[in-house]
């Protein structure tokens, strides 16, 4: 599969009308004409951190792509804290970075985006500018990053420019308890379904080709939930499903502004799982026939790095699961079936040290939930939110199982879970179109 | 003697015969209308039932929890049959009223007019009750899931209160539509609903004043939580 293989998928009702840009942005784009590289930074009230991100991007472009025409686009959602001003103010002292042959001034476009508020709409504007400038390689990075370095820009763009990849997913070093939705659901499920081992499918920082940008813009999803959230998993899945060449780049640790960890987990889970399950429906013709997974090429020099410690309250998670089992069992029976709920029931009184949701049972839970979502057995928002205690129970299991393990050893446990997802995929495939029940 | 016989016996019989002959066409018309109505009712009832089965109404009702609610109320018939039988009896009722109207008797005509005028209210009341029931199920399920995810132990109690609140509201609206004891319903509903809200506020204020204080302080001053339960990052 090469770059030429990016194809219209079953869902791609072509939407050729251009995205509206502000008159100022239109004239900036016309003045610039064409560019080889484009880096997009979506933002909303990130004045504290975006300056550092812009500096890292500028330094990366100057250091690694000195002879190429490059444009930085900040797509802002109406910040009130001076984020656009911070972007325009941010400059780099190239001499301090020992960059001798830096390019002339980096072109910056600072633009508001139109449409539904959200990261997806911000990306759409970035994609549209990339299309008009005929950019060959693009990258997007989060605006709240504290650990971004100039090397990230090379690692996200070089595989596209020199190796002809279409999509570069990030590969971060993370604490074993960092990214638990990714580790227990999104990565193993995406890998089992589509056969590509993309370790961080919802990483947030990506590189992609101009051709893939066109493909993204032509999808009819920009008025849906993708415009608000779920853009990260959508980009990864759409790239894989369209047959694009996908690789990964090692970026080291990802440190970004802390979000309140107790902010609504149910809403977060609903957004992520809703996007994953919706994409399963969209691309079932792609994944129903894929049997095995293959490793993805990983660019970049790999090294060990100290990661931020993560405090975990296992008792709270188990209590949340047990409360769910007490009150939501009838709803879970509708979603998962009586057999699975009966297997969960002994956990109601299990001592904390012995609390476990086994890999095999967890995989069936996820597959049954996906099928229930597909069959609309409940209102979808209720269905997805009702899974929150189950997810917390599984996370508690993972924490208990990996307490004494290093991050690398815990990665081995995730690999084991992935293999169960893959070995049980036939269970999902048989039942997806209303096949035999367990 | 013959005069007496004519006046005392034949005249009333003649009068009665005349009356019967005058009414007989109307009675015949009534019989035909009722007969045709019964056939139409049977046909329509079966057609509606079959159509709803083809449209998988029973499966939809099963998902919405309607079948379970009917079973709880001792009704073992499936929704398609209930709707089919309802259509049957409605047509029968119309046919009987139309048939009685054919007799052209004043009291029956007045009853038929009142009955026909009441039907839109009865239908509206029925729709309100059904919609209220479905809405109460949806809301109580959402409240139950939200309460469990918020870690509130009396989640089921909260969800049941939400369910009964919506059903009470729907019942009050339906009774008002039907014109049954309107003032009593409005006053009764106002007192009950106001009482529930007041009791909830009182309970929250007394039992969870620290929680309310913390919430308001965090909301108004954008202060983060003093101590997060853990700093697990899920994505």
Q: Would you place residue B118 in the very low, low, confident or very high pLDDT band (cuts 50, 70, 90)?
A: confident
**Subunit contact B63:A260, Cβ cutoff 8 A:** no
Complex ipTM: 0.84
pLDDT per residue rounded down to tens, chain A (438 residues): 444 556 655 444 444 567 888 899 999 999 999 999 999 999 988 899 999 999 999 999 998 998 889 999 999 988 888 899 999 888 887 777 777 655 566 789 999 988 888 888 899 999 999 999 999 999 999 998 888 999 999 999 999 999 999 999 999 988 888 889 999 999 999 999 999 999 999 988 999 999 999 999 998 888 887 767 789 999 999 999 999 999 999 999 888 776 644 468 888 899 999 999 999 999 999 999 898 899 999 999 988 877 777 778 899 999 999 999 999 999 999 999 999 999 999 999 888 888 999 999 999 999 999 999 998 888 999 999 999 999 999 999 999 999 888 888 899 999 999 999 999 999 999 988 776 554
Find, in chain A, the residue whose alpha carbon is nearest to that of B68: A330
- The pLDDT assigned to B222 comes to 60
Of A198-202, B78-82, B203-207, least confident by mean pLDDT is B203-207
Q: State the nearest Cα–Cα gap between B188 and chain A, in angstroms.
A: 32
Alpha helix segments (H runs only) across B103-226:
106-149, 155-178, 182-207, 209-221
- Could you report the per-residue pLDDT of B144-200, keeping only the tens digit for each? 999 999 988 889 999 999 999 899 889 989 998 888 877 777 788 788 878 878 887
Give contacts of A310 with chain B, Cβ < 8 Å.
Answer: 230-233
**Subunit contact B232:A381, Cβ cutoff 8 A:** no
Cα angle A153, A43, A126 (rounded to 5 degrees) comes to 65
Alpha-carbon span A374 to A281, nearest angstrom: 7
**Subunit contact A316:B235, Cβ cutoff 8 A:** no
How much is the pTM? Answer: 0.81
**Subunit contact A181:B235, Cβ cutoff 8 A:** yes
Taking CA atoms, B228 is separated from A259, A312, A315, in Å, by: 11, 10, 14
């Amino acid at each position: 599969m090469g770059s030429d293989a990016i194809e219209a998928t079953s869902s791609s009702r072509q939407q050729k009308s251009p995205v509206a840009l502000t008159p100022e942005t239109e004239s900036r784009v016309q003045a610039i004409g064409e560019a080889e590289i484009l880096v997009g930074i979506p933002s909303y009230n990130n004045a504290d951190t975006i300056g550092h991100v812009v500096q890292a991007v500028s330094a990366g472009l100057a250091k690694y792509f000195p002879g190429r025409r490059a444009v930085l686009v900040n797509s802002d959602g109406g910040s009130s804290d001076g984020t656009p001003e911070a972007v325009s103010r941010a400059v780099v002292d190239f001499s301090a970075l020992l960059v001798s042959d830096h390019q002339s001034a980096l072109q910056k476009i600072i633009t508001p985006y139109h449409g539904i508020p959200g990261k997806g709409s911000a990306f759409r504007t970035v994609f549209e500018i990339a299309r008009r400038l005929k950019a060959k390689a693009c990258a997007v990075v989060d605006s709240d990053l504290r650990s971004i370095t100039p090397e990230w820009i090379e690692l996200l763009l070089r595989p596209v420019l020199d190796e002809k990849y279409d999509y570069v997913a990030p590969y971060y070093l993370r604490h074993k308890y960092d990214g638990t939705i990714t580790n227990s659901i999104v990565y193993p499920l995406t890998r089992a379904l589509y056969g590509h081992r993309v370790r961080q499918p919802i990483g947030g920082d990506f590189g992609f080709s101009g051709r893939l940008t066109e493909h993204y813009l032509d999808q009819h999803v920009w008025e849906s939930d993708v415009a608000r959230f779920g853009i990260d998993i959508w980009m990864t899945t759409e790239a894989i499903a369209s047959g694009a060449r996908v690789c990964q780049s090692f970026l080291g640790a990802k440190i970004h502004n802390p979000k309140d960890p107790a902010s609504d987990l149910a809403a977060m889970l609903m957004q992520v799982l809703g996007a994953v399950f919706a994409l399963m429906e969209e691309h079932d013709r792609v994944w129903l026939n894929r049997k095995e997974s293959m490793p993805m090429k990983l660019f970049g020099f790999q090294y060990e790095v100290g990661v931020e410690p993560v405090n975990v309250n296992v008792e709270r998670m188990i209590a949340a699961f047990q409360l769910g089992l007490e009150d939501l069992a009838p709803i879970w029976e509708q979603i998962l079936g009586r057999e699975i709920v009966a297997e969960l029931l002994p956990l109601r009184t299990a001592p904390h040290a012995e609390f476990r949701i086994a890999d095999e049972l967890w995989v069936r839970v996820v597959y049954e939930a996906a099928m229930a979502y597909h069959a609309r057995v409940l209102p979808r928002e209720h269905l997805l939110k009702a899974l929150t205690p189950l997810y917390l129970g599984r996370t508690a299991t993972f924490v208990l199982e990996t307490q004494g393990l290093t991050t690398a050893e815990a990665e081995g446990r995730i690999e084991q879970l992935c293999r169960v997802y893959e070995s049980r995929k036939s269970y999902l495939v048989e039942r997806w179109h209303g096949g035999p029940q367990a | 003697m013959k005069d007496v016989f004519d006046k005392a016996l034949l005249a009333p019989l003649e009068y009665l015969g005349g009356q019967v002959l005058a009414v007989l066409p109307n009675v015949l018309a009534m019989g035909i209308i009722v007969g045709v109505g019964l056939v139409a009712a049977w046909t329509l009832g079966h057609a509606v039932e079959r159509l709803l089965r083809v449209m998988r109404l029973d499966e939809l009702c099963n998902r919405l929890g309607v079948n379970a609610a009917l079973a709880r109320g001792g009704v073992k018939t499936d929704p398609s049959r209930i709707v089919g039988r309802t259509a049957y009896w409605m047509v029968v009722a119309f046919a009987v009223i139309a048939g009685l109207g054919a007799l052209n008797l004043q009291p029956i005509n007045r009853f038929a007019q009142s009955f026909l005028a009441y039907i839109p209210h009865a239908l509206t009341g029925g729709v309100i009750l059904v919609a209220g029931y479905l809405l109460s199920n949806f809301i109580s399920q959402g409240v139950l899931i939200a309460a469990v995810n918020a870690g509130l132990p009396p989640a089921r109690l909260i969800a049941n209160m939400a369910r009964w609140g919506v059903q009470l509201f729907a019942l009050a609206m339906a009774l008002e539509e039907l014109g049954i004891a309107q003032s009593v319903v409005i006053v009764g509903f106002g007192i009950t609903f106001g009482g529930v809200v007041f009791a909830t506020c009182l309970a929250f204020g007394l039992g969870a004043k620290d929680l309310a204080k913390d919430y308001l302080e965090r909301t108004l001053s954008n202060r983060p939580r003093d101590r997060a339960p853990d700093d697990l990052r899920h994505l």
